[in-house]
Structure 1
Amino acid sequence: MKWLALLVVVGGAGYYAYDIGTKLAREDVRRLEARMTELREENSRLRTELAGQQAALRTERDRAAQLQEPYTRDVPAENEQTIMALVRKRIGEGVRPARLAEVVGAARDTVACPDPAATRRFVVGSPLQRGPTDAVFFAGGTIVVTAAGESAKNERGQPEAWYDPAQPLKARFTHVGGQTIETAGLLPLHQTILSG
């Protein structure tokens, strides 16, 4: 009988432990299911919020593109800003916009000078030589070209009355309208002047 009583006590304790374990497991399952429901709702809310944010981002990007378009079209790029500054300066100096448009419209990458190019001989001025032969005229007399350089030296180191071609010279191109372009260097020098 003792064994039977012990068996009943152990069996009762086992049943009690099983019952408590089952209740705890059910409580854990309910708690985890509630948490899973919360997480699903949070996930759904976040997905909805993300979709809204993505839509707002697309809208803002579209709006930024719409704002960028006239800026890109109307604001000159860096290389164009230099040209625009020159155009504004020339208009400020009294050049007609129609004349500037004509000049820009006539511009080409290749030079289309009349054939053959005009050439003239003249004497390069030096400190010891100035005279009527040290200037030449081009474009029907509208452009005057003069040049000056260092005098050649004789074997004793004394200056001669002519220019030393081994030395750099300064050339001046003066347009009848008053514009002057100066360039310097060793010969041959090349200078392009728009006329017309």
Structure 2
Amino acid sequence: MTLGRYDYERRYRRRVRAGLIKFVLLTALVLGVGLFAYQMGIEQLKGRDVTLREEIATLSRQKAELELLASQMQHAARTAEARVGELEGRLQREVPTGDLAKLSQLVSDRLKGGLDANRLAFVISQAQTPRNCQPADTKRFTLTTPLLKGGARGVAFGNGTITVTGEGQSSHDSQGNAESWYDPGQPVTIKITGIGGKSTSVTGVLPLHQSLVVDNSEYRFTIAAAQRSFVEVTADRCAYP
């Protein structure tokens, strides 16, 4: 009876130990699987976090690039608007309209027709609204040259209140020798002197135009080449202003 009880108790303890070992192994397995799953979850979260950070960095760069592009486009738009405004203003200033356009076309047609530009400019400069003027007075005199300096050379207008004098370059003969009279193809200098010392001068190739105001009168002079050695001076006298 004692031996039977001993065998029974020993088998019981073995079953208990085996059950305990199984429980421990099962618990270890469960813990291992849980730990592995937890570690995998951590790694996945880390990987996802890295991916999200990279996506955020990429989106941030794209946002900065788009903002820079938008700023550049706005600047380009403002520059284009300013340029358009400048061109519109220039167009309004430089392209004639109305009466000015008609006159511009008329001048262009006359120039294409062969009319001398200087002549046309003179005609336009002489055009003016009606004024209180006296009949034109025309006189002539000989120009002073390097070989023709002696004597008083000039003409007077306005009862002697204005004197017109001038000088030019000597003409040359076919052998190149200097002559006494002036060369109308070279620039001349015309000096207009009013009473009291008020004066003005003009230099250039004839014909020339100049004006001078003395007291309450404006004298407008046209100086043109005449017969050899002479220039012809036409003076218009009008009330001023």
TM-score (norm 1): 0.41
Of structures 1 and 2, the one with the larger relative CO (CA 8 A, separation 6+) is 2
Q: Please say which structure displays the higher CA radius of gyration.
A: 2
Scaled by the length of structure 2, what TM-score is found? 0.34
More strand by share: 2
